[in-house]
Amino acid sequence: MNKLFFMTMILFSIGITAQESRAYLAFNVGASLPGGEIAAEDQANLKTGLDVNLDFGYRLNEQWGAFLTYGMSANEVEVDDDAGTTVWRTGYMGIGPIYAVSLGENWSWDIRPGYVLAMPTTIDYEGGDLDLDAKGSGWMLGNSFIMGLGQGFKLAINIDYLSGTYSEFGEGDDATKPDASSDGLTRLAIGVGARYNF
C-alpha cells in the first residue's frame, strides 16, 4: 500500500512539473517598421515607431503548442504643415500554432504563424478633431529566439511580421470601404522580450 501510494505521488509530481512548464506569459517591446500601400510616402507616410505586445502560449508537447497575442504599434505620420503630431495607432489580436525548434543546450526557436482576428486602427491628430478609425484583419508570422529552458524567466529576441488589409474606414453612417485591396499595412517588429514559463 505504501509503495503504491509513493509511486502515485511521484507520477503526480512529475505530471504537475510538466504541466507547469508548458504555459508561458511574455511581454515584448521593439521597433515597428511600417510598410504596405498605406505606409508609403504618397499615403500616410509612416515613420518607424514602437511595438508592444503581450503573449500567452501553451505547449501540447515539446514541439507543438498554441498562442494568443495582443499588441499595439504606434507610428508617427510625417506631415509637411504645422498640423501638429499625428499618430497612426494599430492594435492587433492574433491566434495560431507554435512550432518549437531546439537550437542547442540553452536556446530554442518558437515559430508562430497566426491569423489576425482584428486590426483596429486610429489615426490620432493632435487636438482630436480629425480622428479616424479603421477596421481590418490579416495574418502574422512571429519568431522568438528563447534563451533558457525549463521554468522561470527567459529572455526572447523577437522578429515578428504582420500583414493586414482594411475593410472599413470610419464608423456608423460615415463608414467607407477602401477603394482597392492594396489599402493594406505591413509591419515588421524587431525587439526583445521577457517571458515566464509556468
Grid cell for residue 114? 497566426
For residue 30, the model assigns a pLDDT of 96
Q: What is the pTM of this model?
A: 0.78
Spatial distance between the Cα atoms of 74 and 84, rounded to a whole number of angstroms: 16
pLDDT at 79 over 80: no
Cα–Cα distances in angstroms (integers) from residue 142 to residues 54, 98, 158, in the given order: 13, 9, 7
User: Which position has the higher pLDDT, 170 or 89?
Assistant: 89
Length of the chain: 198
3-state secondary structure of 7: helix
Which residue, chain included where needed, has cell 525587439? 191
Q: What is the mean pLDDT of residues 54-58?
A: 95
Structure confidence by residue, pLDDT tens digits, 12-29: 444 433 344 689 999 999
User: Which position has the higher pLDDT, 3 or 59?
Assistant: 59
Cα angle value 43/87/134 (rounded, 5°): 65
What's the number of CA atoms in the CB half-sphere (13 Å) around residue 57?
29
Spatial distance between the Cα atoms of 174 and 30, rounded to a whole number of angstroms: 34
What's the number of CA atoms in the CB half-sphere (13 Å) around residue 108?
15
Contact 180, 186 (CB under 8 A): no
Q: What is the mean pLDDT of residues 114-128?
A: 81
Which residue blocks in 81-174 are alpha helix, DSSP H?
Answer: none
pLDDT at 10 over 50: no
